[in-house]
Amino acid sequence: MKKIISLILLPFFALMFSTNVKAESLTLGWAAWDPANALVELSKEFTAETGIEMNFEFVDWTSYADRMLNELNNKGKTFDLLVGDSQWIGGGAVNGHYLKLNDFFDREGISMNDFSDATVYAYSTWPKGSENYYALPLMGDALAWAYRKDWFDRPELKSEFKSKHGYDLGVPKTWGELHDMCSFFQGREIDGVVRYGAALNTERGSEGITMGVTAAMYAWGMEYEDPNKPYHSDGFFNAPNVVEAVEFYKKMYEDCSPPGHSNAYMGENLDAYSSGQVAFQMNWYAFWPGVAKGDKDGRVTGFFANPCQEICAATLGGQGISVVNYSDKKELAQQYIKWFARPDVQQKWWDLGGYSCHKDVLGSPDFVNSAVYAQGFLDSMGIVKDFWQEPSFVELLIPMQENMHDYIVNGKGSAKGALDNIIEEWEEVFESEGKL
């Protein structure tokens, strides 16, 4: 009876909390995922120190870009602080959505040298590599892999694999090895249930399959454009090594995926892994704390950075925190960033499950031992590559999603054909912007 009453009363408590806006407050927007909840926890200290209330608006990832870009394009005042995806930085700077932070940093003595170079480059600067800062790196992230270490440690599996392939089952050093291993598990019965190889990114709607296939493409040495002639992708983006990478990713999809894994991204991969379906999953570091904490009933999870192939590279994720230019509380917002940039806060951020980009935290001797995936994270952040960060990145992303999904999942056409189509559409976009 008590349960029923509480169930009925629960929404009313919810209502009480939801209408809680005090005098001094800031509204921060991010995607709705675990790290965001961790940020809520962390920010309680900010409120305790300064008395400023923090309101959070979290949007789920699949709608995040749409919603936020919509809001920014219409000069909305809902948000004071925005944790924007790395690809938005171009638009944020060029279209005046983000406040340029250089003066603020100088005033408060915040130095970008305190933050890992790769993250400053990726999350804060526009044009890339310049010293114009439009965000503070908030969440370092890259695409990596988790695997069922407990299965790998089984003697019968180890010996069978060794005799079949001639080397030890363990962390794969290349994509070739990864393929060997995941096909080894494909269709294999373990503990009475059929298992599969790997949960890969194949999502069609937002950015899933792009994030997945680029993990392979980068490892094969893909460049988006001619280093001497920006925006010229022909000959580079569709070079033979890139074609090989895309074909390989398709092979991985066909040989190692569980059935029905044709539209999968973060949530679906986590699901497949946690239900014991797969030996490997590809996903963002952001989820690893949750995955590690979920190890029970004999499951042991190991982690490794994106395997090398011709070079070593990883797909960049992560976000920086920016001040929205249309906010009426820019001064107040800057206070939050100043607090967040403190080394002690950064350390607490890592402890709670956020991926700090501060050199003090990453360089501390305890860091590598603080979590199983810490070393992988350090390694990954050193080799990251990002998708286009142009203001028009959505127009560049959409043809990539469509063509990659058509080839890899739907089996239409060829890898080279898909890449050529993508370049054709990119050229259209660059032409209309006068960049070609």
Instruction: In angstroms, give the least distance from the CB of 107 to another protein.
Output: 28
Q: Which of 177, 255, 406, 420 binds another protein (CB under 8 A)?
A: 406
Comparing CB distances to another protein, the nearer of 169 and 246 is 246
325 forms part of the interface with another protein (CB under 8 A): no
195 forms part of the interface with another protein (CB under 8 A): no
Per rule CB under 8 A, count of chain residues that contact another protein? 73
C-alpha to C-alpha distances, 356 to 352, 360, 363, 380, nearest whole angstrom: 10, 10, 11, 14
- Among 247, 253, 248, 212, which residue's Cα sits nearest to residue 415? 247
C-alpha to C-alpha distances, 198 to 176, 242, 310, nearest whole angstrom: 14, 22, 22
Instruction: In angstroms, give the least distance from the CB of 139 to another protein.
Output: 15
DSSP one-letter string for 364-417: STTHHHHSTTHHHHHHHHTTEE----STTHHHHHHHHHHHHHHHHTT--S-HHH
88 forms part of the interface with another protein (CB under 8 A): no
C-alpha to C-alpha distances, 122 to 31, 130, 219, 291, nearest whole angstrom: 18, 11, 18, 26
417 forms part of the interface with another protein (CB under 8 A): no
Q: Which of 52, 286, 313, 409 binds another protein (CB under 8 A)?
A: 409
Q: Which of 157, 300, 332, 398 binds another protein (CB under 8 A)?
A: 398
Q: Which of 47, 50, 63, 132 binds another protein (CB under 8 A)?
A: 63
Q: Which of 353, 374, 380, 383 binds another protein (CB under 8 A)?
A: 353
91 forms part of the interface with another protein (CB under 8 A): yes
109 forms part of the interface with another protein (CB under 8 A): no
295 class by beta-carbon count within 10 Å (0-12 exposed, 13-18 middle, 19+ buried) = middle
- Estimate the crossing angle of helix 240-256 against helix 393-408, to 10 degrees: 60
Give the per-residue contact string, 15-54, with another protein (x = CB under 8 A; - = no).
Answer: x-xx-------------xxx--xx-xx-------------
Q: CA 204, CA 208: separation in Å to the nearest integer?
A: 6
328 forms part of the interface with another protein (CB under 8 A): no
1 forms part of the interface with another protein (CB under 8 A): no
164 forms part of the interface with another protein (CB under 8 A): no
Q: CA 160, CA 432: separation in Å to the nearest integer?
A: 57
Comparing CB distances to another protein, the nearer of 161 and 196 is 196
In one-letter notation, the amino acid at residue 288 is: W
Instruction: In angstroms, give the least distance from the CB of 177 to another protein.
Output: 26
Query: Do 392 and 429 contact (CB within 8 A), yes or no?
Result: yes
Instruction: In angstroms, give the least distance from the CB of 54 to another protein.
Output: 11
Task: Tell me which stretch binds another protein (CB under 8 A): 11-19, 46-54, 144-152, 228-236.
Answer: 11-19
Q: CA 196, CA 255: separation in Å to the nearest integer?
A: 9
Comparing CB distances to another protein, the nearer of 35 and 307 is 35
Helix (H) or strand (E) run with residue 127 in it: none
- Estimate the crossing angle of helix 330-340 against helix 343-352, to 10 degrees: 80
Instruction: In angstroms, give the least distance from the CB of 91 to another protein.
Output: 8
Dihedral pair phi/psi, residue 151, rounded to 5° = -70, -40
Task: Tell me which stretch binds another protein (CB under 8 A): 1-9, 153-161, 165-173, 230-238.
Answer: 1-9
Give the per-residue contact string, 223-262, with another protein (x = CB under 8 A; - = no).
Answer: -----------------------------------xxxxx
The separation between the first and the last C-alpha atoms of the chain, rounded to the nearest angstrom, is: 70
Comparing CB distances to another protein, the nearer of 37 and 241 is 37
Instruction: In angstroms, give the least distance from the CB of 287 to another protein.
Output: 8
List all residues 6 or more positions away from 262 whose beta carbon is below 8 Å from its beta carbon: 202, 409
Q: Which of 25, 47, 50, 59 binds another protein (CB under 8 A)?
A: 59
286 forms part of the interface with another protein (CB under 8 A): no
What SS3 class is residue 99? coil
